[in-house]
Structure 1
Amino acid sequence: MLAIRLLAEPDRLDTLVLPVRPGPADGDPARPAPTASALPDGVTEEAAALAPAARLTGRPGEVQSQLRPGRDPGRLLLLGVGEGDEAGWRAAGAALARAGKDEIHVTLAMPADATPAAVRGLVEGLLLASYRFRLTDAGAAPALAEVDVLVADPGAHTATVEAARTTARMTRFARDLTNTPSSVKNPQWFAEQVAALAADVPDLHLRVRGPDELAAEGFGGILAVGGGSASGPRLLELDWRPADARTHVVLVGKGITFDTGGISIKPVAAMKLMRKDMAGAAAVVAATLGAASLRLPVRVTTLAPLAENMLSGSAFRPGDIIRHYGGTTSETTNSDAEGRLVLADALAYAVAELRPDLLVDLATLTGANAVALGKRTGALYSDNDALAADVLAAIAAAGEAAWRMPLPADYAEHLGSELADLHSSPDRGAGSVMAALYLREFTGELCDRWLHVDMSAPSWADGDDAELTRGATGWGVRSLLRWLGSLA
């Protein structure tokens, strides 16, 4: 991961980066921000002349490069940071990571009035946009290895930088899990990756249930979805239990390590990215590891039901009746609506056995999410206005996006079944809404303290975009850590 140092004065100047802000009024030229550190003679004046000449606007992520042969520094980068808020600095950090990819080392002089939020945005943008996933060594990696950040008082930003580093590291871990091909990634492999990181963290406890334990305890939804695969299902339970916790949150994440659709098989085009169908599980696990790393005083228990939805003679069939944890039964007429079946088990278990104060699930659940809200926005559901507002605020602060959707009472009647307690995938009603209403049926006495995010669309980026890189985005890790931090 890219090394970032906070310094009061530079110890080397190869490439110097100066922040640029918009002019004071519309139409005024952009201008370099006064910096906290002394700069080499003439650099400030040169930057002030270059900004209007290059027609810079100061918008976040705008970059202008100027070579200075034979002088120190040898290259000057003007970097747009907008008005200097966290979002602007996150975009600026991402742009710098890409603009400096051919450099080994760059030095950025922060404005004299830089806030901790600005530093956090910069660090997250740098670390997230410099992410790269490859299973082979083919292709040249970015050269940029170190960024020095000049601030008036490095010690004042130590905790901020640590929070940003942890958030980025855990987001990158979630991206790694999600990007990994399903020829490598199965339920057991996923659990092993989490176990390797969790082993040395104090007060963090991991339990992984295999097929025999799942059968003995009645997790029928997980067993049904995983029954068609040679790689048996798992239920991962990760518990961060600090001594000073006053709030207990349970996070649940859908963990389908590959989804063929089962007997209701997907077309090839819809199947090719189904290695990402465990992005919800990756997000909640990574957020819990992050909470433990930051020692947040909130108890967090994460449940990740893991299964491969494969096609074989032992796969569950459309029309089967599934008995979930706790005894509720579901009629399922579409084996490609499998995510809600494993989540139902985990939610029912959380309510009956863990009894948390708050219950939140993340899932790459429906294609209807993308139809309604596009590629960057998750669909958020909750009957609790305060909980929804708090989580939406955390999502916005983290630089992610979600939109609250309705849970219409009259749609719930579509969940009726003549053969079982519930129909898991009725043909009527809106797809994402019906999936959320189905999940709500398993939240019992916690239905007014439950929140669901359908994050199928924003879990994947088709190309580089600000702090996102092509592939898995790690959506939800940043938002959950912000929210958990606010509970602390």
Structure 2
Amino acid sequence: MLAIRLTAEPDRLATVALPVRPGDADDVPAGPVPTAVTLPDGVGDEAAALAPLARLTGRAGEIRVQLRPGGVPERLVLVGIGDGDEAGWRSAGAAVVRAAKDESHVTLALPVGVSPDSVRGLVEGLMLGSYRFRLGADDKAPALVGVDLAVADPDAHQQAVAVARTTARLTRLARDLTNTPSSIKNPEWFAGQIAEAAEGVPGLRLRVREPEQLAAEGFGGILAVGAGSASGPRLVELDWQPDDARTHVVLVGKGITFDTGGISIKPVPAMKLMRKDMAGAAAVLAATLGAAALRLPVRVTALAPLAENMVSGTAFRPGDIIRHYGGLTSETTNSDAEGRLVLADALAYAVQELKPDLLIDLATLTGANAVALGSRTGALYSDNDQLAKDLLAAIDAAGESAWRMPLPTDYVEYLGSDLADLHSAPTQGGGSVLAALYLREFTGDLRERWLHIDMSAPSWCERDDAELTRGATGWGVRGLLRWLGTLS
């Protein structure tokens, strides 16, 4: 992973990056920002002359590399920072690591008075923009191993760098888990990866329920979805409980390690990326590990129901009645609407046994999320205005995106079943809304303190884009950690 160093006396000057701010209304052109450290002779003047010649605008993430044979530095990188806010610096960091991927080190000179928030965004951009996932040989791996941040007072930014490094590290973990092929990633393997990550961390407690325990305790939804696979389901419960915690949050994440659709089988194009159907579980587990690493003064319990939805003679059938944890029953006529069945068990368990103050679930639940909001934005549902407002603000500050959607009461009648308490997959349309309404039925007396995010679309990215890299995005880790950091 990329090494980040704060320094007031940069000594690795082969490649130097300078931030560029946009022009202004007084016809002052875009140009480099005055930096907090002394640059080699002539570099500042050269950068100021180059910016207008290169027609730089200073927009966040804009990049220009100037070769200077025989000079110091040998390569001068000009990078736009936009408004200079955290988001602009995050994009700038990602652009720098991509532009300097063939160099071993780069020094980035920061402006006088740069804020800790800007440094946090920059470090997240550097570490997330440099992310790569491969299981085979990587002949094109970047050479870049370290970035020096040249600032006047390194001590003033140590905390921002530490928080950013932790956030990025756990986001990268969520990406790794989601990108891993399902030939490797079954429920047992996934649970083992979390056990390894949590080992030795003070204040963390892990419990993994295997099929026998799930059956004995009545987790009928998880067992039904996992029944068709040779790899049995699991329920991972990861608890961070500091001594000074006054608030308890339960985070629930959908963990389908591969989704064929079951007997309601998916077409091949829809199935090929179903290794990502556990991105919600990866996000909530990584966020809980992050809360422990940052020693946040809030109790966080992550619940990750893990199952592989396969086609076989033991798979659950369309039309089956499933009895969930706590006793509610579901009629399911579509085995490809399996995620809500495992979430229902976990939500009911959280309400009845853990009794938290707040209950949040994240799930790659419906394709309707992408139809409504596109590829970058999660759909957020809650009856609690303040909770929705606070989490949306944290998600936005972290550089992620979500939009609040309605929970119309007149749609509840669509959940009715002649055979069971609920119909799990109504066909009246509004698939993401109906899935949220179904989950709400399992929140009991926490209904007013529950929030659901359908994050199927933003869990995956088809191309490099700012701090996102092609493949799994780790969506939700940054927003959850930002929000958890506001609680006490």
The normalised TM-score by structure 1 is: 0.99
- In 2, Cα distance between equivalents of 1:96 and 1:138: 21
Aligned to 2:69: 69
- In 2, Cα distance between equivalents of 1:26 and 1:170: 43
Aligned to 2:113: 113
Q: What does residue range 411-430 of structure 1 map to in structure 2 within 5 Å?
A: 411-430=411-430
Aligned to 1:379: 379
Q: What does residue range 17-416 of structure 1 map to in structure 2 within 5 Å?
A: 17-25=17-25, 28-416=28-416
Letter in 1 for 2:172: R
Secondary structure of the residue aligned to 1:487 is: coil
String of CA shifts for 1:136-155, please: whole Å, max 9, x gaps.
12332001111000111111
Secondary structure of the residue aligned to 1:486 is: coil
Using the TM superposition, name which of 331-340 and 35-44 deviates more: 35-44
String of CA shifts for 1:383-414, please: whole Å, max 9, x gaps.
00000000000000000000000000000010
- In 2, Cα distance between equivalents of 1:27 and 1:343: 56
Displacement of 1:73 in angstroms is: 1.1
Displacement of 1:220 in angstroms is: 0.1
Q: Is the Cα–Cα contact under 8 Å of residues 348 and 442 in structure 1 kept in the other structure?
A: yes
Q: Is the Cα–Cα contact under 8 Å of residues 411 and 429 in structure 1 kept in the other structure?
A: no
Using the TM superposition, name which of 114-123 and 20-29 deviates more: 20-29
Letter in 1 for 2:48: A
Q: Is the Cα–Cα contact under 8 Å of residues 206 and 236 in structure 1 kept in the other structure?
A: yes
- In 2, Cα distance between equivalents of 1:477 and 1:83: 25
Aligned to 2:432: 432
Using the TM superposition, name which of 441-450 and 56-65 deviates more: 56-65
Displacement of 1:26 in angstroms is: 6.8
Let me know the Cα RMSD of the aligned residues. 0.8
- In 2, Cα distance between equivalents of 1:343 and 1:422: 14
- In 2, Cα distance between equivalents of 1:354 and 1:316: 29
Secondary structure of the residue aligned to 2:302 is: strand
Q: Is the Cα–Cα contact under 8 Å of residues 381 and 453 in structure 1 kept in the other structure?
A: yes
Letter in 1 for 2:70: G
Query: How many matched pairs?
Result: 488
- In 2, Cα distance between equivalents of 1:173 and 1:351: 28
Displacement of 1:471 in angstroms is: 0.4
Secondary structure of the residue aligned to 1:57 is: coil
Displacement of 1:122 in angstroms is: 0.6
String of CA shifts for 1:161-211, please: whole Å, max 9, x gaps.
110000000000000000000000000000000000101100100000000
Letter in 2 for 1:373: L
- In 2, Cα distance between equivalents of 1:335 and 1:306: 16
- In 2, Cα distance between equivalents of 1:108 and 1:384: 43
Secondary structure of the residue aligned to 2:485 is: helix
Letter in 2 for 1:290: G
Displacement of 1:32 in angstroms is: 0.8
Displacement of 1:364 in angstroms is: 0.1
Displacement of 1:24 in angstroms is: 2.4
Displacement of 1:11 in angstroms is: 1.6
Displacement of 1:27 in angstroms is: 5.0
- Counterpart check, 1:14 vs 2:24: no
> Displaced runs of 4+ in structure 1, greater than 2 A?
none
String of CA shifts for 1:283-322, please: whole Å, max 9, x gaps.
0000000110000000000000000000111100000000
Secondary structure of the residue aligned to 1:369 is: helix
Displacement of 1:28 in angstroms is: 3.6
- In 2, Cα distance between equivalents of 1:127 and 1:446: 37
Letter in 2 for 1:165: R
Aligned to 2:462: 462
Q: Is the Cα–Cα contact under 8 Å of residues 29 and 55 in structure 1 kept in the other structure?
A: no
String of CA shifts for 1:399-447, please: whole Å, max 9, x gaps.
0000000000000010000000000001114100000000000000000
Displacement of 1:9 in angstroms is: 1.2
Letter in 2 for 1:395: I
Secondary structure of the residue aligned to 1:77 is: strand
Q: Sort the Cα spacing of 1:385 and 1:26 in 2 relative to 1 into closer, same or farther, 3 A.
A: farther
Q: Is the Cα–Cα contact under 8 Å of residues 414 and 429 in structure 1 kept in the other structure?
A: no
Letter in 2 for 1:465: D
The normalised TM-score by structure 2 is: 0.99
- In 2, Cα distance between equivalents of 1:12 and 1:221: 57
- In 1, Cα distance between equivalents of 2:263 and 2:403: 33
Secondary structure of the residue aligned to 1:205 is: strand
Letter in 2 for 1:418: D
Secondary structure of the residue aligned to 2:111 is: coil
